[in-house]
Structure 1
Amino acid sequence: MEKAVEMIQIVKRFPQVVANDHVDLTVLKGEIHAIVGENGAGKTTLMNQLYGLLKPDSGEIRIFGKKVNFKGPRDAILMGIGMVHQHFMLVNNLTVAENVVLGSEAGIGPLFDLKSARKKVSELSKRYGLHVDVDAKIEDLPVGMQQRVEILKVLYRGAEILILDEPTAVLTPQETEELFETMFRLRENGKTIIFISHKLNEVMRVSDRITVMRQGKVTGVLNKSETDPRQIARLMVGRDVVFTVEKTPARPNGVVLKVENLHVKDYRNLEAVKGVSFEVRAGEIYAIAGVAGNGQTELVEALTGLRKPVSGRVYFLGKDITHATPRELREMGMGHIPEDRHKYGLILQFPAYYNVILGRHHRPPFANGEFLCHSKILSFAENLLSRFDVRPNNVRMLGANFSGGNQQKLVIAREIGLEPKLMVVSQPTRGLDVGATEFVHKTLIQLRDSGVAILLVSMELDEVLSLADRIAVMYNGQIMGEVEPNAVSIEEIGLMMAGHRLEEIRGRVA
């Protein structure tokens, strides 16, 4: 079979790291080829070189047998390569057709025939099943439709090779299934698709072949029909991984967190949380699911003292904490594992021993008045790093120099070390490999079983269904319904994620 892409012995270095270490990649014409690996394995760096955003330090790239040396993305586009990035690049106040043709060779000007371009976009939409109103404005489209526009953009420019970078990260289950049908239709039409993902069930669902990367190197190239998720995971992390989360039924006790009719505005002063109410009890995991950007971030910030609510009330163990500061909340026994560990979880230029006492560095036994007690800090940090298997076990190493998974372990170790009564956990496995994810899941279950109340906010539906004792689904700042994981279907959760209330869904089914 003809080779669409050959990347031969690709090396790409950045300061202090080799992102791609003599990588070989072969993608056949007309196949869906998945590239999997942990965060930082070098997948996106490799694709950025194929798309002309980066130049390899050494190695060779061939497209349909022809050696290429791209100076930028325009060169790659002219060779039939298109890339759909994880974060869309669309102009909200333009129509679908205008966005698709924007930046194409002719440009939009007095001599540009938008009518014929609109007709071409409409024909592409029909041919590949990418049904979307070409006259609709981007700002009026749901996320799944916006992604179709990004795919239409690369097809309009004549792409034969499509790179999809984590394309399901912001989709509901129904939108994900529609994307897969589009990918199959593109393959039937002879297109070549490179699919970057960390979700092994999706890789097994859509790919023909799989390239696995770890620490900048290729650890295996597999035919989908001859492998399984366990083998892929082993190649990703270098050991066997347990996929199922083992847990006993929750035995919840009293209410620890109570939220009443909470309203919160975002950084643009627009209402992001609209009258949300729920309770979290001791010894349970209460999860909030939903597509990113539906008020989850603002809700967590309001609960942890990082953002002031507009109205409503929040109670922690019966005490009104609506306007409490982060320090006051920590003193009361609230732990917080933030979604952005770099921004809110760690001080990257500080050593591990200091990062694990943040929030209590001013209290005994770590401080005596204005002075830090270094021997006690070091002893505490060494024990904590050993207990949570942080690698390398070096308390003097800077936070920036740990891998993503071990940075997350540092944050979790510190927060559990507080012995919290409530743990607010936001996107705990974002960017983590399957091994680190397994560790995080086990730790959260152990915490629940010890009687801690856990509020889990996650975009990963599999994670929510595996860990949660109760699930609320957020859409547009509101809770669409509250369910137990063993009494709901993925289809129902997907409909709630798309804005349908539970009563409406079950009323319709009934």
Structure 2
Amino acid sequence: MPAVVEMLGITKRFNGFTANDNINLIVQKGEIHALLGENGAGKSTLMNTLFGLYQPDEGEIRIRGERVNITDPNMANRLGIGMVHQHFMLVEPFTVTENIILGMEPKLGAKIDIRKAERQVQELSDRYGLRVDPKAKIRDISVGMQQRVEILKTLYRGAEILIFDEPTAVLTPQEIGELMQIMKNLVSEGKTIIFITHKLKEIMAVCDTCTIIRKGQYIGSVAIQDTNVDDLASKMVGRHVTFEVDKTPAQPKGPVLQVQNLVVEGNRGADALRGLSLEVRAGEILGIAGIEGNGQSELIEAITGLRKIKSGSVLLNNKPIENKKTRQIVEAGVGHIPEDRHKHGLVLDYTIGENMVLQTYYQSPFAKRGVLRYNAIYEYARKLIKQFDVRTPSEFTPARALSGGNQQKGIIAREVDRNPDLLIAAQPTRGLDVGAIEFIHKKLVEQRDAGKAVLLISLELDEILNVSDRIAVIYEGQIVGIVQPEETDHDQLGLMMAGGGKGKGGK
């Protein structure tokens, strides 16, 4: 019996840059097949080719043994191929059902039969254990639930082969576990899943086979039962990777950031922060652990001037910065790696070189008498691209054209190179591969060792435990405890994150 997907000798070029170079991918029916590679290795390009968003320059695609020419996503849908994209494509004011049926609405006379559609969505949701409310509005549901809506969109269109593009990048640990179960449910019902990822533990937990690509080239395919995390990591990056964060004990000094009794309103009128207090000292990394939606985003926005503060104080080096303009806060010594790199980190249609100076473009040597000096801008960008290993064809490439991980590296390069007194790192390794994560963690520790204060906000508990010198747990807009990483574990943190335990007031 032929494989359900065969991509043979696939080559794809963009303006002379080879994103996929003679890659083979063979996927059997009813398996979860991981496509593993570094940021910028060509994973998404290969899957966008299978989904009809790109056309290959060389090679052929066979679906169930038949050679096909997938000219667009509609053709992919007709062949039973669906794709759950990394960045969701949902209309926020619409309901779950309205999003799922968009373009394929069942009719009752001249009208849309919304009741029939809701029944169909409910049946699909129940069958695959998705637990989605068909009548809920997208803007009112969690990120994890929005992803389930994307999965339902593909199932509603009859997909038998599902492509998941970095599906766990924006999920909480609990949501990741639930998604793994959903994937198993789908396969038990006869579906086939291609799982684009660089999270090795997830591959080991849920996949049957793994195909590795590196720098656009096919490295090999392995059965998961015949491999391990270390082997996959070294195949992916071409060298040994350490999973331990190499750091000496912190030597903290005086406070750099002092937040006292902070009250901040959320997007829906209620207070998102309710008297929150914390302190970050020079020479330490303070990690904030919490389930998404407990005030982390509002805290970051309040400190960086992106959200008004109702009451309370924010001191940077003993000087108030609450409710100041963002530029004033940046110039006072705050660096910010934002949690949403597209919304707050980059101007996607600017070049990566221009993005490197978004915080400093008006200063010397990048401007003179109000006129930008592009030679200086691009010379600086070339230095950072090399220093931070940003994989890009050139400094003139639009930020939009880079992989998510390399976009993130560009932001980190810009913020770290400014040498701020306080570096706020929000989800700094979201969507990054193990090699890049190792690099970013090293940069955060270097900032700490240079006497800077680092505020790390992450949904990855391993990251919080491995990188932080102290851990503050946030729950419903308050810090409910501070613990030492060496004195806690996933279970205790998980209990505190759910509001069920108190930590010691660690120093």
**TM-score (norm. length: structure 2):** 0.81
Q: Which amino acid is 2:285 matched to?
A: I
Tell me which residue corresponds to 1:444. Answer: 444
Check 1:414–1:267 CA distance in 2 against 1; reply closer, same or farther (3 A cut): same
**For residues 270-301 of structure 1, what are the alpha-carbon distances to aligned partners after superposition, in whole Å with 9 as ceiling and x for unaligned?**
97655432111222211234566665455334
SS in 2 for 1:3: coil
SS in 1 for 2:4: strand
Tell me which residue corresponds to 1:158. Answer: 158
Native 8 Å contact 2:169 2:431 kept in 1: no
Q: Which amino acid is 2:499 matched to?
A: R
SS in 2 for 1:123: helix
Tell me which residue corresponds to 1:53. Answer: 53
Native 8 Å contact 1:174 1:494 kept in 2: no
User: Which deviates more, 226-235 or 415-424?
Assistant: 415-424
Tell me which residue corresponds to 1:458. Answer: 458
TM-superposed CA distance for 1:70, in Å, is 2.6
SS in 2 for 1:439: helix
TM-superposed CA distance for 1:33, in Å, is 0.4
Check 1:483–1:214 CA distance in 2 against 1; reply closer, same or farther (3 A cut): same
Tell me which residue corresponds to 1:243. Answer: 243
Task: Give runs of aligned pairs for residues 247-266 of structure 1, distance below 5 A.
Answer: 247-264=247-264
Tell me which residue corresponds to 1:427. Answer: 427
Q: Which amino acid is 2:76 matched to?
A: A
> For the residues of structure 1 that align with 2:276 and 2:333, how far apart are their CA atoms?
23
Check 1:146–1:307 CA distance in 2 against 1; reply closer, same or farther (3 A cut): closer
**TM-score (norm. length: structure 1):** 0.80
Tell me which residue corresponds to 1:280. Answer: 280
Check 1:465–1:399 CA distance in 2 against 1; reply closer, same or farther (3 A cut): farther
> For the residues of structure 1 that align with 2:321 and 2:398, how far apart are their CA atoms?
33
Provide structure 2 residue ranges, at least 5 long, that are not aligned to the other structure. none
Check 1:137–1:476 CA distance in 2 against 1; reply closer, same or farther (3 A cut): farther
> For the residues of structure 2 that align with 1:175 and 1:126, how far apart are their CA atoms?
17
**For residues 3-53 of structure 1, what are the alpha-carbon distances to aligned partners after superposition, in whole Å with 9 as ceiling and x for unaligned?**
111112222222352222222111100000011212222211221222222
> For the residues of structure 2 that align with 1:159 and 1:407, how far apart are their CA atoms?
31
Tell me which residue corresponds to 1:217. Answer: 217
TM-superposed CA distance for 1:326, in Å, is 5.3
User: Which deviates more, 251-260 or 142-151?
Assistant: 142-151
Native 8 Å contact 1:251 1:283 kept in 2: yes
Q: Which amino acid is 1:501 matched to?
A: G
User: Which deviates more, 165-174 or 488-497?
Assistant: 488-497
Tell me which residue corresponds to 2:85. Answer: 85
Tell me which residue corresponds to 1:490. Answer: 490
Native 8 Å contact 1:4 1:27 kept in 2: yes
Check 1:414–1:20 CA distance in 2 against 1; reply closer, same or farther (3 A cut): closer
Tell me which residue corresponds to 1:501. Answer: 499
> For the residues of structure 1 that align with 2:425 and 2:6, how far apart are their CA atoms?
42
Q: Which amino acid is 2:185 matched to?
A: R
TM-superposed CA distance for 1:74, in Å, is 2.1
TM-superposed CA distance for 1:212, in Å, is 1.4
TM-superposed CA distance for 1:58, in Å, is 3.1
Q: Which amino acid is 2:68 matched to?
A: V
Tell me which residue corresponds to 1:467. Answer: 467
Tell me which residue corresponds to 1:37. Answer: 37
Check 1:168–1:56 CA distance in 2 against 1; reply closer, same or farther (3 A cut): same
**For residues 385-431 of structure 1, what are the alpha-carbon distances to aligned partners after superposition, in whole Å with 9 as ceiling and x for unaligned?**
69957579x9x955869987777667656655555433222333344
Native 8 Å contact 1:13 1:57 kept in 2: yes
Check 1:145–1:493 CA distance in 2 against 1; reply closer, same or farther (3 A cut): farther
**Does 2:223 align with 1:197?**
no
Provide structure 1 residue ranges, at least 5 long, that are not aligned to the other structure. none
Check 1:400–1:94 CA distance in 2 against 1; reply closer, same or farther (3 A cut): closer
TM-superposed CA distance for 1:137, in Å, is 4.3
Native 8 Å contact 2:465 2:485 kept in 1: yes
Task: Give runs of aligned pairs for residues 93-172 of structure 1, distance below 5 A.
Answer: 93-104=93-104, 106=106, 110=110, 113-172=113-172
Native 8 Å contact 1:355 1:399 kept in 2: no
User: Which deviates more, 339-348 or 50-59?
Assistant: 339-348
SS in 2 for 1:247: coil
TM-superposed CA distance for 1:339, in Å, is 5.0
TM-superposed CA distance for 1:125, in Å, is 2.9
User: Which deviates more, 194-203 or 479-488?
Assistant: 479-488
Q: Which amino acid is 1:219 matched to?
A: I
TM-superposed CA distance for 1:127, in Å, is 2.8
Q: Which amino acid is 1:3 matched to?
A: A
Q: Which amino acid is 2:222 matched to?
A: L
Native 8 Å contact 1:174 1:491 kept in 2: no
> For the residues of structure 1 that align with 2:28 and 2:381, how far apart are their CA atoms?
50
> For the residues of structure 2 that align with 1:19 and 1:332, how far apart are their CA atoms?
41
Native 8 Å contact 1:480 1:502 kept in 2: no
**For residues 148-168 of structure 1, what are the alpha-carbon distances to aligned partners after superposition, in whole Å with 9 as ceiling and x for unaligned?**
333233223222111111111
> For the residues of structure 1 that align with 2:236 and 2:359, how far apart are their CA atoms?
32
Native 8 Å contact 1:33 1:209 kept in 2: yes
**For residues 475-508 of structure 1, what are the alpha-carbon distances to aligned partners after superposition, in whole Å with 9 as ceiling and x for unaligned?**
67655654443444435545666xx3244999xx
Tell me which residue corresponds to 2:207. Answer: 207
TM-superposed CA distance for 1:241, in Å, is 1.2
**For residues 440-484 of structure 1, what are the alpha-carbon distances to aligned partners after superposition, in whole Å with 9 as ceiling and x for unaligned?**
212322332343221112343332221012334556765565444
Native 8 Å contact 1:213 1:219 kept in 2: yes
> For the residues of structure 2 that align with 1:265 and 1:29, how far apart are their CA atoms?
50
RMSD of Structure 2 on Structure 1 (CA) = 4.2
Check 1:110–1:217 CA distance in 2 against 1; reply closer, same or farther (3 A cut): same
**% of aligned pairs identical?**
52
> For the residues of structure 1 that align with 2:456 and 2:259, how far apart are their CA atoms?
15
User: Which deviates more, 408-417 or 67-76?
Assistant: 408-417
**For residues 222-275 of structure 1, what are the alpha-carbon distances to aligned partners after superposition, in whole Å with 9 as ceiling and x for unaligned?**
211122222222222222211111333334332221112334568999976554
For these two proteins, the number of residue pairs brought into alignment is 496
SS in 2 for 1:252: coil
User: Which deviates more, 333-342 or 311-320?
Assistant: 333-342
Q: Which amino acid is 2:121 matched to?
A: V
